Structure 1
Amino acid sequence: MNQLEALKQFTTVVADSGDIESVRKYRPEDATTNPSLILNAACLESYQHLIKDAIDYAKKQGGNKKTKIINASDKVAINLGIEILKNIPGRVSTEVDARFSFDRGMCVTKAEKLVRLYEEHGIDRSRILIKLASTWEGIKAAEELEKNDIHCNMTLLFSFAQARACAEAGVFLISPFVGRIYDWYNNRKLLLEPYVADEDPGIKSVHRIYHYYKKHRYNTIIMGASFRKVEQILALSGCDRLTISPHLLEQLQSRSEPIERNLKPSTEGFYQPAPLSEAAFRWEHNQDPMAVEKLSEGIRQFAVDQQKLEHMLMSSL
């Protein structure tokens, strides 16, 4: 048994990729996409038929140039999601435009549109996760969407305050970003040498969230994300889910050393604290410089890649 097969005994493996061939190869349960992954896929020759279909759709819908660009970029994301769903048994995550990260109403509106587009193609909403940035506004939008059976994947999650607020909002799933937390500390020479997984701040963050959720019996799923090395993945074996890029899936598949389960649910007593207020959330999140910096950086980068995709589509509309 290779390490990927062994990991699947403890954890649901999700492909962090818009590459359909990788999804077919590694047979994950679910798959996640984001504007960066969609942009990369849109540049490949093998996906041009999905781009053309999106452009044709936008032209048919009509409207001014801006409206057509929005409709085309939304349809590209949906087309890619539909292709991925043909190759997995579970769910695909599709992300709301990062430029709406501080607009609760637009997050809800865009999420409802994306789900409607999937449903127009015969895809039940139970197979879709809407990705939203874990801002206060994004979390509150997700709380509203969940009440209408639109399940959400809260991304760009770096602080414990974000994780706690997501659980209290009853969101379906969170994606704590292990690798980007690691990057922040590594770039500042704040990590031990040689590397020790148990001392990795990204790993420690997920451990804290996992034990807090299980202790207080929150139903929100924890899906570790954004990995830089296999050691980070194995340190989180037993986490509810892990979303893993193709090159790390390949490494896991090529290794056969035995692995152990490192995360197990708590058997402690049950109670749930009073929910964080908006003021308490903002204050606690603000106490973590890494989280403040990485959240804003992530939103900006996803917005840049969304704009690049729109620019690519613009010439054909």
Structure 2
Amino acid sequence: MSLLDSLKKYTTVVADTGDIDAIAQYKPQDATTNPSLLFNAAQQPQYAHLVEQALSDAAKDGGSKEAQTEAFMDRLFVGFGREIVKIIPGRVSTEVDAGLSFDTEGTLKKAHRLIGLYEEAGIDRNRVLIKIASTWEGIKAAEKLEKEGIHCNLTLLFSFAQAVACAEAGVTLISPFVGRIYDYYKKEKGAEIPADQDPGVASVTKIYNYFKKFGYKTQVMGASFRKVEQITDLAGCDLLTISPDLLAKLQQGAGEVTPKLTAESAKASDAKKIELDEKTYRWMHNEDAMAVDKLSDGIRKFYADARKLEKFAQSMVTQKVGS
């Protein structure tokens, strides 16, 4: 048995890619996308028809070049998402622009737009997760969306305060970033960190134990992995979203994975319940220097990725309008 097949017995495996062929190859339950993944996929000739369809639909929407560019990006996200849900049994995560990370109303508007396009294409909203940065403003937007039956995946999550605020808000899913936490402490230490001391793995373990001990329904999906050991050390986590290169290593590796996270061990943990209002959230998050650094850095990088996609969209719209 491969490590991937063994892992699937304990954890829902999610493909972290916009490459539809890679998703078909590894047969995950769910898939996640983002502007960078979509930008790369949109350059590949096998997906030219999706780009052309999004461009054509955006042109029909009309309006200025700027409006058509935004419409093209929205329709490209949904176009890829629509194809992805044809080959997976579960859900696809579609990301709200990082430029809206501190804009609750803007996030709500974009989420409604994306869900509307999915439903227009015949995709049930239960097959879609709206991916939002785990800022206070993002969490508040997600709380409102969940009450409307629009499910959310809160990303760029680095602090325990972020995780608890998401659970209190009743979001469907959170994505703690294992690899980026590891990167921060590795750089600070100036050396590799032993697997049994991995701070990214420890962060997800703490969050998982807290959620299970206190009965939160929010699912935990470890994300942003650097190596196979980080994945196998989180076997038993609700979900793990994994890049194609690491999925390949898991598929090529033989062996049995032992579940490291279980609801039983979580209930026996020494976690203490905390209550979070906005002030407490902001203070707790601020006290975690790593989380403050990685959240702001992550938003900047996601924003830069979105602008790359936007530049591509602008060039496509300009060609269309000029032709």
Per the normalisation by structure 2, the TM-score is 0.94
Partner of 2:134: 134
Partner of 1:207: 205
Partner of 2:84: 84
Secondary structure of the structure 2 residue equivalent to 1:188: helix
Deviation, 1:196, is 2.1
* 1:187 partner letter: K
* 2:119 partner letter: E
Q: 1:226-264, CA deviations, whole angstroms, 9 ceiling, x for partnerless residues?
A: 000000000000000000000000000111122211001
Per the normalisation by structure 1, the TM-score is 0.96
Q: 1:123-158, CA deviations, whole angstroms, 9 ceiling, x for partnerless residues?
A: 000100000000000000000000000000000000
CA RMSD after TM alignment: 1.6
- Residue in structure 2 matching 1:235, options 221, 233, 236: 233
Q: 1:68-118, CA deviations, whole angstroms, 9 ceiling, x for partnerless residues?
A: 110000101000101111110000000001100000001111001100000
Deviation, 1:40, is 1.1
Taking the aligned partners of 2:150 and 2:273, their CA distance within structure 1 comes to: 25
Partner of 2:288: 288
Taking the aligned partners of 2:214 and 2:303, their CA distance within structure 1 comes to: 35
Deviation, 1:167, is 0.3
Deviation, 1:198, is 2.1
- Asked whether the equivalents of residues 6 and 259 of structure 1 are also in contact (C-alpha less than 8 Å), the reply is yes
Counterparts in 2 of 1:204-283, with a 5 A limit? 204-265=202-263, 266-268=266-268, 273=273, 275-283=275-283
Aligned length: 315
Taking the aligned partners of 2:154 and 2:10, their CA distance within structure 1 comes to: 22
* 2:28 partner letter: P
* 1:76 partner letter: L
Deviation, 1:223, is 0.3
Identity %: 57
Secondary structure of the structure 2 residue equivalent to 1:315: helix
Taking the aligned partners of 2:311 and 2:279, their CA distance within structure 1 comes to: 38
Taking the aligned partners of 1:315 and 1:198, their CA distance within structure 2 comes to: 48
Partner of 1:9: 9
Q: 1:272 to 1:69 in 2, by over 3 A?
A: farther
- Asked whether the equivalents of residues 18 and 33 of structure 1 are also in contact (C-alpha less than 8 Å), the reply is yes
**Structure 1 segments of 4+ aligned residues over 6 angstroms from their partners:** none
- Asked whether the equivalents of residues 6 and 255 of structure 2 are also in contact (C-alpha less than 8 Å), the reply is no
Counterparts in 2 of 1:163-182, with a 5 A limit? 163-182=163-182
Q: Runs of 5+ in structure 1 lacking a partner?
A: none
Counterparts in 2 of 1:43-122, with a 5 A limit? 43-122=43-122
